[in-house]
Amino acid sequence: MLIVALTGGIGSGKSTVGEIFANLGALVVDSDQLARDVLVRGSEGFDQVVAEFGDEILKNGDIDRASLGEIVFNDREKLAKLESITHPLIRKAFKNFVDQAPADSIVINQIPLLVESKSNYTFDAVITVSAPIEIRKQRLAIRGLSEAEIDRRIAAQASDSEREAISDFIIQNAGSSDELSSAVEKIWSKLQILNKGK
């Protein structure tokens, strides 16, 4: 089995790349989805986060991610506290996924904040999706984000060069969808070779 990290800044197109890999036969896990899953009502993560941050983060009995985000993104200590609760649970959820996967799988974990989290994962390879800032901003504006929100989110993340520094493969996503598919397919071929050689 090959365990691969797929990362990239907001608006880089990593979700699209993840979908292409899935269509090629990879088992793709989205860490953002795992982060939501570990905070569902009734879960261990839900109980711990509500105990730490109080009922004001609840909306209709569920954790309101926007309210929680406003609290933690303006306070490094509170963000660190939230991460100390959620990161072990996310890693455990990912391990459970891997344990259930066929032995010859190529598992790709989409992790937006791989560099920032300095996570305790061990990956056989790291792929970064990069795109020029202006293109990323255009994509995010189409999604409906304000210019101020776009600037704030990009500033909060690592730079492309920081992500590329820890990567085995880099996908430049500034061209057409055909060019992107071709770049992903080339890396997929290399991953299959790596997996057979393990």
Please, which pLDDT band fits residue 74 given cuts at 50, 70 and 90?
A: confident
Quick one: tokens of 111?
């992790």
Give the chain's mean pLDDT.
Answer: 91
Can you give the pLDDT at residue 136? Answer: 94
Can you give the pLDDT at residue 104? Answer: 94
What DSSP string describes 77-89? HHHHHHHHHHHHH
Can you give the pLDDT at residue 156? Answer: 79
Record the pTM: 0.86
Q: What is the pLDDT of residues 86-97, one digit of tens each?
A: 989 998 999 999
Helix (H, G, I), strand (E, B) or coil at 75: coil
* pLDDT over 70 (residue 169): yes
Distance CA 130, CA 10 (A): 10
Can you give the pLDDT at residue 79? Answer: 86
* pLDDT over 80 (residue 117): no
Q: Of 52-66, 147-161, 171-185, which one has max mean pLDDT?
A: 171-185
Query: Percent of the chain, pLDDT > 70?
Result: 97
Cβ atoms of residues 130 and 8 within 8 Å: yes
Quick one: tokens of 57?
């983060």
Residues facing 172 on adjacent strands: 130
Place of tokens 């792929």: 127
| Nearest of 147, 157, 82, 71 to residue 114 by alpha carbon | 157
Where helices occur in 143-176 by DSSP H, the ranges are: 147-156, 160-165
Can you give the pLDDT at residue 114? Answer: 86
| Nearest of 100, 81, 86 to residue 34 by alpha carbon | 86
Average pLDDT of span 29-34: 92
Extended beta strands in 46-168, E state = 58-59, 62-63, 106-110, 125-130
